[in-house]
Structure 1
Amino acid sequence: MSAAIEDYALISDARTGALVSRDGSIDWFCPPRFDAPSVFGALLGDEDHGHWRLAPVGGGQAQRRYESEDFTLVTLWTTDSGVVEITELMPIDGPHTHIIRRVRGISGSVELETIVRFRFDYAAALPWVRQHRDAGPPAIAAIAGPDAMLLRGVTLTARDNSHVGTFTVAEGEVRDLVLTWYPSFEPHPEMPEVDALLRRTRTWWQRWSTDLHREGPYRDEVKRSLLVLRALTHRDTGGIVAAATTSLPEQFGGTRNWDYRYVWLRDASLTLMSLIRHHHLTAARHWRSWLLRAIAGDPADVQIMYGIAGERYLPERELTTLPGYQGSGPVRVGNGAVDQFQADVIGEVIVALDDARRAGLAEEGSSWSLQRALIGRVVETVDRPDQGLWEIRGEPQRFTHSRAMIWAALDRGVRAMHEFGLDGDLEIWERLRDEVRAEIDAQGVSVGGHFTQYFGTDEVDASLLVLPQIGFCAADDPRMLATVARIEADLMRDGFLMRYRAATGVDGIDEPENPFLACSFWLVEQYARTGRRDDAVQLMDRLCALTNDLGLLSEEYDVDAGRQAGNVPQAFSHLALVRAADALADDGTIGE
């Protein structure tokens, strides 16, 4: 059975990633991109669905950590016979996809066992595996359909559709195991020079993280969160995925299992804003180029999400080859939200690009034409109800958060013209901006004085905490203070925030869910902006205590079971952590 979600570490080459359990099993790996079919799928089933385990025979005590500024995982195994250190990473190596597991003897002598089961195409294909003989170290090759893999560095023998090998490492000895994915129609790749790859990979991460030496509260949590956001950004295309996994359950035993390995315009925009505020304009330029390619064409065809290279066709389907995480099915690939209308999305994009412009990223080529066309699309759809931030599968509504993001898109367009001399339909944008604000003031505020989830209801929604972040109102606006009081009364569960009251049925799914971590981080920011610093710090400390030993967060938290829930690592959780920490630092980089 797969491990607890918080027991997994991520290793990544900023194209895809692998999840490594605390006991040394790689249970999730989708080469060569995050959204590719799995080769190791035990995360959503068991060992029969593919995994690669490396650990001392008989086990031992494991202590793990990341090297300070990258995704190199270092695990120190202490056994009765000695101590070994296993270093695991996905190197930065041109077109190739590797996993390197280096074993180094620290003291005594330790016997290790490795077991590998290849299951290609989400465990639908049992590959042909044979011994691979060349001038290099012992190896096996696995091939099925378009996929091929080489595992080098240890002699392996077949056992029940797995391959098993043992070896002993004494003090001062080093053994490298190297797994390489490649297209099956290409020749076998040469054995890479491991030391060179290690140096190149460390240099790549260190060069990117130069600006992460941040002082202030929650320094380590912020640094790791920014690194997570970089790991989820494809280094070739610039597409920023929402998470590294699919179908990890938001509610254990429920059906809220979604595929997050795609580029949501919203999530990517919010990620971009966090990176910009921490001086990563190169990431902003790269993503803006991705955006130009992805949405090129008729603005009416803009989607709320795309594939990593800008693919548009992402139909949702259920797999029969993977039973689900600890029995929580179904396992889904693709995402039906791709066909939804979410009126807030263009607002997030325009706000992020406005942040980039104000940070010094100059308009290039057709970048402003793109933004102007997007705002034009907002104008065309300004009165249309939508599925909103939470991608409800119930009836569309006029969500207050969505209406505020429409306001934000128009507002940033107007300001771009006034403050940067850019061209656009100023009169129309100004008129609609003011009309949308007046509409929210009239229909999005309850008789009790708080903002509402959507027009015509008295319910609240955690997304309302975003309104001060985009400058729609001040954090201490009486309506916001009333909203916070109502959110605390209705949505707080065991110290953390729910997105909304699922019992209302607005989302069209008749199931409960767990607190959504980003919402609680938004509340930290709101507290910090309104002088409730003690409350902000207490909540921030509770949230940071939910990270695993490596600083990783999933999407939600099951307060009853005391465990992480949902896809992992989740960009939304980590970018919200960064915002909350910045607000507590009171460094003036957040807010309007």
Structure 2
Amino acid sequence: MSTGHDGPGRFSSAAPSPFPPIEEYAYLSDCHTGALLAPDGSVDWLCVPRFDAPSIFGSLLDREAGTFRLGPDNIDHPTSRHYTPGTNVLETTWRTKSGWLLVRDALVIGPAPPDDEINPHTRPPVDDDAHHLLVRTAHCLEGTVAVQLICEPVFGYGHTPAEWTMTGPQRHAADATGAGLTVRLATDLTLGIEGGRVRARHLLSTGEHAWCALSWAAGLAVPADGDHARALVDTTCRYWRTWLAQARIPDHRWRDPLQRSALAIKGLTYVPTGATVAAPTTSLPETPGGARNWDYRYTWMRDTTFTLRALHWLDLDWEAEEFMQFIADVQPTEDGSLQIMYGIDGRRELTETELPDLSGYAGARPVRVGNAAYSQRQNDVYGAVLDSILLHTRRSQRLPRRLWPLVVSQAEAATRIWTQPDQGIWEARGEPRHYVSSKLMCWVALDRAAKLAVLRGDADRAPTWAHTAEQIRDDILTHGVTTDGVLRQHYDTDALDASTLLAANFRFLPGDDKRLAATVNAIAEDLTENGFVLRYRTDQTDDGQHGKEGTFLICSFWLVSALAHIGELQRARDLMERLLRVKSPLGLYAEEYDAHTGRHLGNFPQAFSHLALIGAAESIILAERTGEL
């Protein structure tokens, strides 16, 4: 029998497992929370009422932590799965021995009242919002199909089994309660309670329908009947298509992956505050069977500039404005600087704990909730925030009054700390170092602050900040470059780090600079596996963790942008095409890619990967259409 090991200390991501491959999950969103659906029709991850709440379906991290399935009885592998074009609504087609079945799944979005009793808004109300409702419909296309419904929530991250109570006549609705939360399951199937789960089974014939809905809405509102349930799915489709129509998607061969990335990023947005989660999941492993498992259901300040660049390039200015207002609202630390990350409601404390009762995805433990990195010092945060403010200011042709104090505080903070070591962009849990990318982002902070001061007409601060930016630049080029002219990971090593590709993306060095070309080529040749880029070599970096990790998709997309910047346009195209071919079957990306097995690793879907995809596509498309780099 295979053990899943292919060498000492290495566990294969393709080892036989009861857990579906990460890339085979579908993602649904109502911009308040997200659900992951396995190929067998089971909802294996759902946190209610919002992204960072405890899970009620957690089979993603433990096969006994709750699931919700609607599909044909005794058939686990569908014939096809795809999103309704232009939406985050899933369609799954099943072939059984006796017939064909189509199942549609949606986290419902539609016309909404001005006040949300479930997740209060700090941003202005929108016309369409979450109904706090998961709707699933089934349609027998041909023949006969036995449809099975199983709903087994386990509240509090798999800790508290549901207590079920039938509600209403004819056994078509039941309430599940646990850990202080109640949800309602409604359906046109006849339900039976079996301990902590409810179950139903019904034979559908050609043309017949069935439906079910899970509600955590105010008053536990559910669809009135099957027609209403199907109408809610259609309304959700119209919402996503109407939203996507507002985006500027170039008429290019990469139009489809750009659209899917835009939909994924919108689906990772928490509408009540404008925040964006890095991913909707926690503890999906970066190392198969290992301990590199983190909670990503928060907003990282380092993502701000990549988010703003992508949103503005796609003409999604409303989302960009909402995100900037979230940044303006967050509370700084005692010295005036921003934390590296915040909760989606802006909270500062994200205490990290472990859940020892959960097995972890394919045995990867520990399972973590919260993220201790919130208390780390990462000096890249200032540059990310100020670059995003400059991008937003140039786009809107105005600097909002409430953002100027943030510019001043972050520029002053970057001035104070740029000479100090930190944990770096990758949140290493080893000793602080003088990371080149952190110094580089401090240069970005002061460079952008100086430009913002000029735009505002602040004649005193602009030259001071510009002078500090030049000091940082000189320091990096003096201490951060190897004898071969390559940007190092940090000042005390010659090791490579993919974060130095940001020297191209943020125009720290011009495209014809030999040091930039040397850095890009060194990373492409010596920091890759099968052509895909690693963050760094784990055996050369004190990151406080053990074990190997996969290649980082964002770093590979950064390499695409960097190759385009140094004039290697065909190499950039070639790598971009390879990256597009390794997307999930539904067009999504996790954080990492196992170049040996073709499996995705880490939390999923990952906003950073999709943001970098958009940035890489932009760099090539602009070069192709203008003939300039």
Matches within 5 A, 1:89-128: 89-92=106-109, 94=112, 95=116, 96-128=131-163
**2:582 paired residue number:** 546
State the secondary structure of the residue aligned to 1:430: helix
Q: Distance in 1 between matches of 2:628 and 2:191?
A: 57
| Counterpart for residue 301 of structure 2 | 265
Letter in 1 for 2:361: Y
Contact 1:22 1:62 in 2 (8 A): no
Which of 431, 434, 446 aligns to 1:410? It is 446
Determine the C-alpha separation between the residues in 2 that align with 1:164 and 1:563: 33
Which position in structure 2 is the counterpart of 1:84?
A: 101
DSSP 3-state at the match of 1:468 = helix
Tell me, yes or no, if the aligned pair for 1:104 and 1:172 is still in contact at 8 Å: yes
**Partners in 2 of 1:405 and 1:338 — Cα distance?**
18
Retained in 2: the 8 A contact 1:299–1:374? no
Q: Does 1:429 align with 2:465?
A: yes
Aligned to 1:372: 408
Is the 8 Å Cα contact of residues 305 and 384 (structure 2) preserved in structure 1?
yes
2:332 and 2:339 in contact (8 A); partners too:
no
Distance 1:421 1:114 in 2: 64
CA contact (8 A) 1:257 1:329 kept: yes
- The offset of 1:29, in angstroms, is 0.4
Give distance in 2, aligned partners of 1:435 and 1:366: 29
Confirm whether residue 146 of structure 1 aligns to residue 146 of structure 2. Answer: no
| Structure 2 residue aligned with 1:19 | 36
> In structure 1, which of residues 156, 162, 167 is the aligned counterpart of residue 191 of structure 2?
156
RMSD across aligned positions (CA): 2.1
Q: Name the structure 2 match of 1:342.
A: 378
Superposition deviation, residue 298 in structure 1: 4.9
Question: Of residues 44, 52, 57 in structure 1, which corresponds to 2:61?
Answer: 44
* Contact 1:38 1:121 (8 Å CA) reproduced: yes
| Aligned 8 A contact 2:164 2:197 in 1 | no
- CA displacement 1:43-72 (0-9 Å, x = unmatched): 0010x2100111112316420111122200
Cα deviations by residue, 1:21-41 (Å, 9 ceiling, x for unpaired)? 111111000011111100000
Aligned amino acid, residue 514 of structure 2: P
Superposed CA deviations along residues 371-428 of structure 1, whole A, max 9, x for unmatched, are: 2222122122222211111000011111111111111111111112224535762232
| Contact preservation (8 Å) 1:212, 1:223 | no
Q: CA deviation at 1:284?
A: 1.5
Aligned residues, how many? 587
**Residue 244 of structure 2: aligned partner:** 209
Structure 2 distance, partners of 1:493, 1:512, is: 12
CA offsets 1:149-177 (integer angstroms, 9 cap, x no match): 11111222233533221112222222221
Matched with 1:175 is 210
Q: Distance in 2 between matches of 1:439 and 1:591?
A: 31
5+ residue gaps, structure 1, are none
- Given that 1:253 and 1:328 are in contact with CA atoms closer than 8 Å, whether structure 2 keeps it comes out as yes
Q: Is the 8 A contact 1:239 1:308 kept in 2?
A: yes
State the one-letter code of the partner of 1:147.
L
Q: Which residue of 2 aligns with 1:577?
A: 613
The partner residue of 2:70 within 33, 54, 57 is 54
Secondary structure (helix, strand or coil) at the match of 2:387 reads: helix
From 324, 327, 339, give the equivalent of 1:291: 327
Q: Which amino acid aligns with 1:547?
A: K
CA contact (8 A) 2:373 2:427 kept: yes
Give 5+ residue unaligned stretches, structure 2.
Answer: 1-17, 117-130
Q: 1:394 aligns with which of 420, 425, 430?
A: 430
Does 2:418 align with 1:382?
A: yes
Which amino acid counterpart does residue 149 of structure 1 have in structure 2? V
Using the TM superposition, give the Cα deviation of residue 212 of structure 1 relative to its aligned residue in structure 2, in angstroms.
4.2
- Quote the Cα distance in structure 2 between the aligned partners of 1:238 and 1:460: 35
Q: Which moved more, 1:318-327 or 1:352-361?
A: 352-361
1:478 aligns with 2:514: yes
Give 4+ residue runs of structure 1 displaced > 6 Å after superposition: 588-592
Match of residue 366, structure 2, among 312, 327, 330? 330
Identity of aligned residues (%): 36
Question: Which amino acid in 1 is paired with 2:35?
Answer: A
1:461-500 matched pairs, under 5 angstroms: 461-500=497-536
Q: Which moved more, 1:243-252 or 1:464-473?
A: 464-473
| Contact preservation (8 Å) 1:285, 1:361 | no
Q: Distance in 2 between matches of 1:42 and 1:130?
A: 23
